Amino acid sequence: MKSISYPASATMKDVAIYAGVSTATVSRVFTAPEKVSTKTRLRVESAAQTLGYSSNAPLPRLATPYWRRVLVIIADITNSFYCDIIRGIETHASQQYCLITLLDCAHQSIERYFTQFRSGVESYDGLIFVGLPPIDSEKSALIPMVVINEYSSDHAFPTVHIDNLTASYEAVKHLIMRGHQRIACLTGPEELAVCQYRRQGYLQALQRHNIPLNPYYLARGDFSFVSGIAAIDRFFHLNPAPDAIFCHNDKMALGAMYRAKQLGVAIPKQLSIIGFDDIEESQYADPPLSTVSQPKVIQGKTALTVLITLMEGKSPATRSHLLATELILRQSTR
């Protein structure tokens, strides 16, 4: 039988190929083994022993830089709000030697993905969650991760986000300052932290300006155009109907505006509508939509910068990376 010969001085790359993992995983096995599953760690250690690899040996200088693999998990890739965030990530990635893979979780469970493809996830060097709460801490110990938008005190991951509560408060305050008293709120999914903060901002604006809350002026949507249409049908069956609506995102606001115009409601003379996110379509609506703008491209760039810090084994200066918002006033409000 012909014997198999191995290189006299195996490299980390040799071990990675032999074990079927990334070089980053091999590095973690010898520098932070607690971040690697037992099965993977044993496979890498066995490969290193077979090849005679020593983690103490100096690493050769590479002729080309090492490209890190980053998995970006998105709440809904069809939502135009996320396009600018993705562009920010990918633009910065090309300058930082990072390869980006996108995973759309609009129709699948993240937990199920990690359960079925755990070894595949481990082949990535880092994760970015966009518009989604992170997975549980047991799975997150496997790989560095950063969260965009979903800031919560319930998790300890670095988060790039905005002050949703204050931004919403200012939007509703603007409606109040323009003479509105019957202000409705169309929320997004209740389980998302951003929606909880935006709802709280709405309630605080009413409370601080002595406007009693009408519970019938609260409706729950799902961030879709269709849910904006449904909200108008609900609100305009009320007596009195609201004279302004604060929507948790622009797509619902555009749906609400579309349906209101079908019913012959004059905007903004009879009904003011204000959205959130400042997606590209909002400026081309008829009339153009007032909205809260958040720096989506900068969010993507910042998230990748923080993730690179983590992938290099360093700790970021802060867990909360708070970015500024701007209230954009157009013709959909008085």
Higher pLDDT, 63 or 129: 129
Percent residues over pLDDT 90 in the chain? 56
In this prediction, residue 44 carries a pLDDT of 84
- Summarize pLDDT for 164-194 with one digit per residue, the tens: 999 999 999 999 999 999 999 999 998 888 9
**What is the domain partition of the chain in residue ranges?**
1-65, 68-162+296-323, 164-294
pLDDT at 204: 98
Of 246 and 141, the structure prediction assigns the larger pLDDT to: 246
pTM for the model: 0.76
Of all residues in the chain, what percent carry a pLDDT higher than 70?
84
What pLDDT does residue 274 have? 98
* Same fold across 1-65 and 68-162+296-323: no
The 3-class secondary structure across the chain, one letter per residue, is CCCCCCCCCCCHHHHHHHHCCCHHHHHHHHHCHHHCCHHHHHHHHHHHHHHCCCCCCCCCCCCCCCCEEEEEEECCCCCCHHHHHHHHHHHHHHHCCEEEEEEECCCCCHHHHHHHCHHHHHCCCEEEEECCCCCCHHHHCCCCEEEECCCCCCCCCCEEEECHHHHHHHHHHHHHHCCCCCEEEEECCCCCHHHHHHHHHHHHHHHHCCCCCCHHHEEECCCCHHHHHHHHHHHCCCCCCCCEEEECCHHHHHHHHHHHHHCCCCCCCCCEEECCECCHHHHHCCCCCEEEECCHHHHHHHHHHHHHHHHCCCCCCCCEEEECCEEECCCCCC
d(CA 183, CA 207): 12
Task: Output the pLDDT for position 10.
Answer: 75
Residue 195: predicted pLDDT = 94
Range 238-252 average pLDDT: 97
Out of 3.40.50.2300, 3.30.230.10, 3.30.1330.20, 3.40.50.300, the CATH code matching 164-294 is: 3.40.50.2300
Q: What mean pLDDT, rounded, does the chain reach?
A: 86
For residue 42, what are the contacts with CB-CB under 8 A and spacing of at least 6? Answer: none
pLDDT of res. 150: 74
Task: Name which residue leads in pLDDT, 159 or 110.
Answer: 159
May I ask the CATH class of domain 1-65? Answer: mainly alpha
Q: Has residue 317 got a pLDDT over 60? A: yes
So what's the pLDDT on residue 197?
Answer: 95
Average pLDDT over residues 246-253: 97
- At the topology level, CATH places domain 68-162+296-323 in Rossmann fold (3.40.50)
Give 127-164 pLDDT, tens digit per residue: 999 987 766 655 555 688 899 987 666 667 899 999 99
Among 65-74, 135-144, 296-305, the range with the most confident prediction by mean pLDDT is 296-305
